[in-house]
Chains A and B, each alone.
Chain A
Amino acid sequence: MKIKLKTTIVMSLTLLSSLFCSALATASAEGKKGDPVNTAEEITEYIQHHVKDSHDFHLFTHFSEGEEHHIGFPLPVILYGEKGLTAFMSSAFHHDDSGHEIVEKNSSRFVRNHGTIYELAEGASSVEFDEAHHPVNASKPIDLSITKSVFGILVIGLLMLLWFGKLGRQYKKNAVPTGFGRVLEPLVIYVRDEIAKPNIGHKYRKFTGYLMTVFFFVWILNLLGLAPFGFNVTGQLAVTAALAIFTLVIYLFSSNKHFWSHQLWMPGVPYLLRPLLAIIELAGTLIIKPFSLMVRLFANITAGHIVVMSLIAIGISMQNQMTAVGSTALSLVLSLFITLIEVLVAFLQAYIFTMLSALFIGMAVDEGHH
């Protein structure tokens, strides 16, 4: 197989220069005010920062002349505390996450400690915790803020509305879509013909909207977590729990008598066993199925992110054992392959979530021809 000379030269130069640049960057890692860097701590914090939700967008920090400069933008913080609804921008906290900066608003005082916002009681200046890690002199207001994940959901929702709305309107005029709709149409048809119709049967039209929404929503958000400057939305337990609850509500409300009669009084089983099996089936339908939907998506995505970032961090943490260039090369190759696998996992998890939702809905609306 003849590989062109120009291609070889370009690719080797790219690889070597990227190795060189990252080796330079990692070799000169210095913390704030020139303190030696505790690598394990920094790496843990780096990973936690990507995986956890936060009240502002923090793209990166750079140090110049010993000063920290945070690049990012703040998001609205909306709290419902003891004195009612309070709203302010998260820049009021001045990047403080350890409970020192007190924000006074609406005659309430708020601090932020490790991502959670507390409302201080009268006379308290910082939050104290007892042994069970409950705050002693503060209360937790209901946090309705636009956090990173909420922002992501809103932006992606808007994007999906634009794309699919445009595609849907196009069908009034021509049978063949133009523009980005051309990319979306085969995917939409795939969801309808391979996921919705086989699993739900002839009543599939009522549920295709939900299935397509959930499929593209989960897929795009999974990919967003892997992209540069991307943030983690589907790796939040709250987001996957909400999606699982949607599926639960939909298949509970569309379930018919036939479904429940088979769940609670199943034919073909000795009468004495039926109550026991009914309890198991009930637990399965109401608790285990949505719970497994939630945990499957959350765990796959979060574990994937942690693995990718740990492999990237190998480039920094193993510098001393195998020279900066060596560790960077290893981390580059490994994280590249794992990222490719994660791209596959992003699609796969979206497909599995949608397929299982379709399966559960299909089971609930099944008429049962005997």
Chain B
Amino acid sequence: MALAMIQEATSLVPNLVGAGLIVIGAGIGLGQIGRGAMEGIARQPEATNKIQTAMIIIAALLEGLAFAAIFLGK
């Protein structure tokens, strides 16, 4: 019984490891976008609106990839 539980749990490990990797990738990517956006805004505060818009667009593209990967994996 315990063996069956352990087997079932370990069969989920690839799923979970994959999900963790996806989140790491998305996190790093969004962090880079945020960093670029902050630096841009710091250099030129009057361009804040344009930079924000571009940041949101790229973030949405990245999130789309991450979500697609999570849904296709599970």
Contacts and interface: CB of A to CB of B under 8 A. Distances in A.
Interface of A: 292, 295-296, 298-300, 302-303, 348-349, 351-352, 355
Nearest to B67: A299
Interface of B: 56-57, 60-61, 63-65, 67-68, 70-71
B63 A300 contact: yes
A299 B70 contact: yes
Contacts of A349: 60
Nearest to A300: B67
A87 B67 CA distance: 38
13 contacts: A292-B61, A292-B64, A296-B60, A298-B71, A299-B64, A299-B67, A299-B68, A300-B63, A300-B67, A303-B71, A349-B60, A352-B57, A352-B61
A295 B68 contact: yes
A303 B67 contact: yes
B68 A296 contact: yes
Nearest to A302: B71
Contacts of B57: 352, 355
Contacts of A355: 57
Contacts of B64: 292, 295-296, 299-300
A299 B71 contact: yes
A242 to B, nearest CB: 18
- Pick the 7 closest A-B CB pairs, nearest first: A296-B64, A299-B67, A352-B60, A295-B68, A299-B71, A292-B64, A300-B67
Nearest to B49: A194
B63 A295 contact: no
Contacts of B65: 292
A292 B68 contact: yes
A307 to B, nearest CB: 12
A295 B71 CA distance: 9
A252 to B, nearest CB: 21
B47 to A, nearest CB: 15
Residue of A299, A302, A349 ringed by the most chain B CB atoms within 10 A: A299
A296 B57 CA distance: 12
A349 to B, nearest CB: 7
A39 to B, nearest CB: 19
B11 to A, nearest CB: 18
B56 A295 contact: no
A349 B60 CA distance: 8
B73 to A, nearest CB: 12
Contact of B60 (A298, A303, A348): A348
B23 to A, nearest CB: 12
Contacts of A302: 71
Contacts of B67: 295-296, 299-300, 303
Given A299-B67, A300-B67, A349-B60, 20 more contacts: A292-B65, A292-B68, A295-B64, A295-B68, A296-B60, A296-B61, A296-B64, A296-B67, A299-B64, A299-B70, A299-B71, A300-B64, A303-B67, A303-B71, A348-B56, A348-B60, A351-B56, A352-B57, A352-B60, A355-B57
A349 B57 CA distance: 10
A270 to B, nearest CB: 28
B41 to A, nearest CB: 19
Contacts of A352: 56-57, 60-61
Contacts of B71: 295, 298-299, 302-303
Contacts of A300: 63-64, 67
Nearest to B56: A348
A233 B65 CA distance: 21
A121 to B, nearest CB: 35
